[in-house]
Chains A and B, each alone.
Chain A
């Protein structure tokens, strides 16, 4: 009787989820309502949270509510503070949710919504949330130390250094791809460029306000900033229409690329209170607000999915990005399913704020489920717009040409009929010159969001406003990430060079700061420039590299967790982390291998380089190169990308090997060998079952 009242309601949730999933999955020749995706996702999360995360908490980790957390032990009122778990959930979620879960699913939609949705759900339950939760647990038991330090202490010094170098490279690729998304969204868009540029003076105004006028009044200043931002969006329409200012704010991709590089350099040297901190308020609150707004919009409008459940592009011939469903779909949707970057956050500020060990389940596992839900909403947004419009926006210009007529003909030929009038009309609706080849995910998501929100608020007249609101919202937190990330890279560079030249570590003196910042900006700027001038649109090259590196970091983090499980003598439950680690290794190594060696020049870097090299040897120039120098540049870029993929593969193999060795050692050891910070001298006895 007890079992029925305990598990009965959950069985109903499970049945509802299964029913929703079958409605979504079984094609009946009519459009599926997006709410069924939401129901299927939410039921999956509830069941996974109730059962799987509880299993991990009780059996694998043995969370002990009576045990002191670092926040209690080291409470200083500043970095270590026992925090209410709901408040901490918000903090953790705001730190992990960024552009990743919004962009990946939009790109993945070219294969239809079903493959992406299934991977998001399976990935988060079995891999992503497990990783976040496990890393949070491991860090929490070790005074909230960072991922690099944890790897060093549990696996050894060399794996620790390998992981640090890997993290730096991954960060460089991440910053480049984020900046590329902004460039793609703002190129040839005076309205968007104007509003995004206006965020700089607005943020500075806010910075002065919180510094000198009303220090610490974040709520007030955020409201002022928000009002100014909305005014900038509204006024942006006039700017775009003005014969003088319109052209002044119209930039090509290459121009924007240089502007961003310059911006990244200056912004990361300025004092934090002037630009970074105030813009962080705006971007954080806008992000949370928009996510809530989008959820409400989907619930109210209940749009129908226009994209087929599965398109023919699962065979790898899709125009948005190339490569077959396995492994490339799993690489394309990184955040939202499993993201290695979260390991950095879960071993950052969050573990220092946990009041009670048992809260880690809600914050770690629950926080990632929430991010996954954001990814599902992004997928819905991309799939409720006309598939013809979707492919018009995401196919490279090399295939589409530049006029609505040529684009409509090309997309119709791909199998998604669309008329030139629809293309022109959509561009007009969202207040842009053109929507052709606006790859990068952000513009597509913005059209989808504008479609959903304007159906709820404002109707068609408000669509252009909502489109630019969505672009601004994405650009805002991407710029914050670029700024904060460049700073983080700069400190890493100073630390690394400081090993050889100690004076270089001086973070307050000007010369090392400027040199290190230049190196950091130069590194991501190089890949950004390469992406902007890429013949296949950049995203095709950089996004897989980013996905591969991000998930490799997840594999590294999960390897650490596996080692810790072995050291705690809980190896009978190690499948919890071994299964996702193996899956991630299989995916990323296969994808990495194909990116290097595939004979298809659309996939393999070396094949692409060879094609250009062969043409160059014959004295021919292939577009988009205009001369022999640019040909040489493309070939060089391809080889750099291939080399980077080789480095990533080597990195994962090395960490994997060290991980296996550590596991074997732990298995042979008689007792507990994990190095928890409050463990008694001589190790902790292995607790009885």
Chain B
């Protein structure tokens, strides 16, 4: 029982790691971490919604004046 639970845990961790990795590859950071960060450090502010966060990151990657989405040769 304990062993299979442990295995499930590890599978979940792996899954999260792969998903986060894939999203970060295209410039999308971790929304949960962002929301948590805002709640903790700026309790007076309303965090962006998930969709707003998505668009914010999309613009940050390719948007005006930003070259961070520039790809290597």
| Minimal Cβ-Cβ distance residue in A for B25 | A94
- B62–A276 CB distance below 8 A: yes
User: Binary interface profile of A, 343-383, with partner B (CB < 8 Å = 1, else 0)?
Assistant: 01100110001000000000000000000000000000000
The 8 Å CB contact of B33, one of A81, A273, A280, A284, is A81
A342 to B72, CA, bound (A): 7
Which residues of chain A come closer than 8 Å to B36, judged between CB atoms?
77
Residue among A86, A210, A272, A276 having the largest count of chain B Cβ atoms under 10 Å? A272
Q: Which of A295-303, A463-471, A479-487, A519-527 contacts B (4 or more CB under 8 A)?
A: A479-487
- A487–B57 CB distance below 8 A: no
- B26–A344 CB distance below 8 A: no
The 8 Å CB contact of A91, one of B17, B24, B38, B53, is B24
Given the contacts A87-B17, A215-B51, A272 and B33 also touching, CB distance less than 8 Å: no
| Minimal Cβ-Cβ distance residue in A for B31 | A216
User: Would you give the shortest CB distance from B69 to chain A, in whole angstroms?
Assistant: 5
The 8 Å CB contact of B37, one of A77, A95, A485, is A77
User: Would you give the shortest CB distance from B21 to chain A, in whole angstroms?
Assistant: 4
Given the contacts A84-B20, A218-B28, A98 and B37 also touching, CB distance less than 8 Å: no
- A76–B20 CB distance below 8 A: no
Any A CB within 8 A of the CB of B71: yes
Any B CB within 8 A of the CB of A288: yes
- B64–A218 CB distance below 8 A: no
- A288–B71 CB distance below 8 A: no
User: Would you give the shortest CB distance from B55 to chain A, in whole angstroms?
Assistant: 7
- A277–B61 CB distance below 8 A: yes
- B68–A348 CB distance below 8 A: yes
A276 to B24, CA, bound (A): 16
Residue among B19, B59, B65 having the largest count of chain A Cβ atoms under 10 Å? B65
A88 to B25, CA, bound (A): 8
Any B CB within 8 A of the CB of A339: yes
- B72–A96 CB distance below 8 A: yes
User: Would you give the shortest CB distance from B67 to chain A, in whole angstroms?
Assistant: 4
Given the contacts A90-B24, A174-B73, A344-B70, A272 and B62 also touching, CB distance less than 8 Å: yes
The 8 Å CB contact of A90, one of B21, B27, B47, is B21
Residue among B37, B63, B67, B71 having the largest count of chain A Cβ atoms under 10 Å? B71
Which residues of chain A come closer than 8 Å to B23, judged between CB atoms?
218
Which residues of chain B come closer than 8 Å to A210, judged between CB atoms?
54
B22-47: which residues lie under 8 A (CB-CB) from chain A? Answer: 22-30, 33-38, 41, 47
Which residues of chain B come closer than 8 Å to A86, judged between CB atoms?
17, 21
Which residues of chain A come closer than 8 Å to B41, judged between CB atoms?
75
| Minimal Cβ-Cβ distance residue in A for B32 | A77
- A277–B58 CB distance below 8 A: yes
Any A CB within 8 A of the CB of B50: yes
- B72–A87 CB distance below 8 A: no
A48-85: which residues lie under 8 A (CB-CB) from chain B? Answer: 75-79, 81, 83-84
- B26–A218 CB distance below 8 A: yes
Given the contacts A77-B38, A81-B30, A88-B24, A341 and B51 also touching, CB distance less than 8 Å: no
The 8 Å CB contact of A216, one of B54, B63, B69, is B54
- A216–B50 CB distance below 8 A: yes
A492 to B70, CA, bound (A): 13
- A491–B58 CB distance below 8 A: no
Which residues of chain B come closer than 8 Å to A77, judged between CB atoms?
29, 33-38, 47
Which residues of chain B come closer than 8 Å to A480, judged between CB atoms?
71
User: Would you give the shortest CB distance from A554 to chain B, in whole angstroms?
Assistant: 12
Any B CB within 8 A of the CB of A5: no
- A273–B55 CB distance below 8 A: yes
User: Binary interface profile of A, 322-350, with partner B (CB < 8 Å = 1, else 0)?
Assistant: 00000000000011000101101100110
Which residues of chain B come closer than 8 Å to A133, judged between CB atoms?
none
A167-214: which residues lie under 8 A (CB-CB) from chain B? Answer: 174, 178, 210
Any B CB within 8 A of the CB of A477: yes
Given the contacts A87-B20, A216-B50, A507 and B73 also touching, CB distance less than 8 Å: no
The 8 Å CB contact of B72, one of A79, A345, A492, is A345
| Minimal Cβ-Cβ distance residue in B for A99 | B73
Which residues of chain A come closer than 8 Å to B70, judged between CB atoms?
344, 348, 481, 484-485, 487-488
User: Would you give the shortest CB distance from A557 to chain B, in whole angstroms?
Assistant: 13
- B64–A277 CB distance below 8 A: no
- B61–A87 CB distance below 8 A: no
User: Binary interface profile of A, 145-162, with partner B (CB < 8 Å = 1, else 0)?
Assistant: 000000000000000000
User: Binary interface profile of A, 597-612, with partner B (CB < 8 Å = 1, else 0)?
Assistant: 0000000000000000
User: Would you give the shortest CB distance from B73 to chain A, in whole angstroms?
Assistant: 4
Any B CB within 8 A of the CB of A281: yes
Given the contacts A87-B17, A98-B72, A98-B73, A215 and B25 also touching, CB distance less than 8 Å: no
A216 to B19, CA, bound (A): 13
Residue among B36, B58, B64, B72 having the largest count of chain A Cβ atoms under 10 Å? B72
The 8 Å CB contact of B34, one of A78, A100, A218, A477, is A78
User: Would you give the shortest CB distance from B61 to chain A, in whole angstroms?
Assistant: 7
- A81–B73 CB distance below 8 A: no
A100-125: which residues lie under 8 A (CB-CB) from chain B? Answer: 100
- B71–A81 CB distance below 8 A: no
- B26–A272 CB distance below 8 A: no
| Minimal Cβ-Cβ distance residue in B for A177 | B73
- A484–B62 CB distance below 8 A: yes
| Minimal Cβ-Cβ distance residue in B for A103 | B73
- B54–A215 CB distance below 8 A: yes
- B64–A507 CB distance below 8 A: yes
- A81–B26 CB distance below 8 A: no
Given the contacts A77-B38, A272-B59, A83 and B72 also touching, CB distance less than 8 Å: no
A96 to B63, CA, bound (A): 20
A471 to B29, CA, bound (A): 30
Any B CB within 8 A of the CB of A437: no
| Minimal Cβ-Cβ distance residue in B for A93 | B25
The 8 Å CB contact of A78, one of B24, B60, B63, B64, is B60
Which residues of chain A come closer than 8 Å to B33, judged between CB atoms?
77, 81
- B72–A100 CB distance below 8 A: yes
A487 to B61, CA, bound (A): 11
The 8 Å CB contact of B58, one of A90, A272, A284, A345, is A272
The 8 Å CB contact of A488, one of B17, B25, B67, is B67
Which residues of chain A come closer than 8 Å to B25, judged between CB atoms?
90-91, 94-95, 284-285, 288
- B73–A95 CB distance below 8 A: no
List 9 A-B pairs, minimum CB-CB distance, nearest first.
Answer: A77-B34, A100-B73, A216-B54, A90-B21, A77-B37, A94-B25, A488-B67, A272-B62, A481-B71
List, sorted by A's number, 8 A–B pairs whose CB atoms are closer than 8 Å.
A75-B41, A77-B35, A77-B37, A91-B24, A98-B71, A272-B62, A273-B58, A480-B71
B residues contacting A by CB (< 8 A) are 17, 19-30, 33-38, 41, 47, 50-51, 53-73
